[in-house]
């Protein structure tokens, strides 16, 4: 799949389903992530981060670069770009945002907007070791194949909720990060 094929599938007129998120009792804290898609000559690959193990929240987990909206952020798209630059050194002018997925509410009280951004490869990533231990890439075609997705149902706070998993070599992509990928995959059915 190349960028043109991706855009044709992503920007279509039919309604796509979304995975259930966590039903917050009140408005969540606004946050944003970037789904960075690297354009190689022969394929598209997605960059993931492994959060630094010493972090108080979600240490060692796999995520997309992103975080909560700061007062200085003019928009959630700016939040995603700022956090991407801070965490893995990709400058905002290197990212072409082509859209976003629906807001996804998390059990930790955030309302996360995932933005989709294309980046020309190869790419020099500069990891901020205070936030990220490492990065890795996964072929987009692997991620969009729902045969590679697994769902486990859990009961949390008297609510039955799905937890999604995608295994890539030694990396277990799960939770909201996997849900973002699942929501993206619905555009490609």
- For each of the domains in the chain, give its residue range(s) and CATH number, in order of start: 3-141 (3.90.79.10)
Q: Is 179 in contact with 164 (CB distance < 8 Å)?
A: yes
Cα 59 from Cα 52, distance rounded (Å) = 5
Question: Model pTM?
Answer: 0.90
End-to-end CA distance of the chain: 14
pLDDT over 90 percentage in the chain: 63
Q: Is 27 in contact with 21 (CB distance < 8 Å)?
A: no
Per-residue confidence at 109, pLDDT binned at 50, 70, 90?
confident
How confident is the model over 55-93, as pLDDT tens digits? 556 556 899 999 999 999 999 999 999 999 999 999 999
């Amino acid at each position: 799949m190349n960028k043109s094929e991706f855009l044709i599938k992503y920007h279509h007129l039919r309604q796509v389903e979304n995975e259930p998120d966590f039903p917050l009792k009140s408005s969540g804290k606004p946050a944003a992530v970037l789904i960075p898609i690297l354009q190689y000559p022969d394929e598209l690959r997605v960059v993931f981060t492994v959060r630094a193990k010493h972090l108080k929240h979600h240490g060692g987990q796999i995520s997309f670069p992103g975080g909560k909206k700061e007062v200085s952020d003019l928009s959630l798209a700016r939040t995603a770009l700022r956090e991407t630059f801070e965490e893995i050194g990709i400058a905002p002018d290197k990212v072409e945002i082509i859209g976003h997925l629906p807001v996804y509410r998390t059990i930790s009280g955030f309302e996360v907007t995932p933005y989709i951004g294309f980046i020309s490869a190869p790419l020099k990533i500069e990891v901020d070791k205070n936030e990220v231990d490492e990065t890795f890439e996964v072929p987009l075609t692997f991620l969009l194949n729902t045969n590679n997705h697994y769902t486990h149902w859990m009961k949390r706070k008297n609510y039955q909720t799905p937890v999604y998993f995608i295994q890539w070599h030694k990396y277990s992509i799960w939770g909201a990060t996997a849900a973002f990928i699942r929501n993206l995959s619905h555009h490609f059915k």
